[in-house]
Amino acid sequence: MTANGVIITSTGETKKLFKKNKIKNIKDFLIIDDSYLQNKIEEAYSSITQMWYSFKTKEVEGKYLVWLDNVTESIYLDIKLGIQSQFSNEIMDSINDLVLPLAIF
Average pLDDT per consecutive 10 residues, the chain (105 residues; last block may be shorter): 92 93 94 73 88 88 90 87 86 75 62
pTM: 0.68
Angle at CA of residue 103, ends 99 and 105, nearest 5°:
150
Residue 2 lies in a domain: no
pLDDT the model gives residue 42:
80
Q: Are residues 53 and 82 in the same domain?
A: no
Q: Are residues 21 and 56 in the same domain?
A: yes
Contact between residue 53 and residue 37 where contact means Cβ atoms under 8 Å apart: no
Q: Are residues 66 and 86 in the same domain?
A: no
Q: Are residues 46 and 66 in the same domain?
A: yes
Q: Which residues form the domain of 63?
A: 12-70
- CA–CA distance, 21 with 47 (Å, rounded to integer): 12
- CA–CA distance, 29 with 96 (Å, rounded to integer): 49
Contact between residue 10 and residue 23 where contact means Cβ atoms under 8 Å apart: no
Number of domains in the chain: 2
pLDDT the model gives residue 72:
93
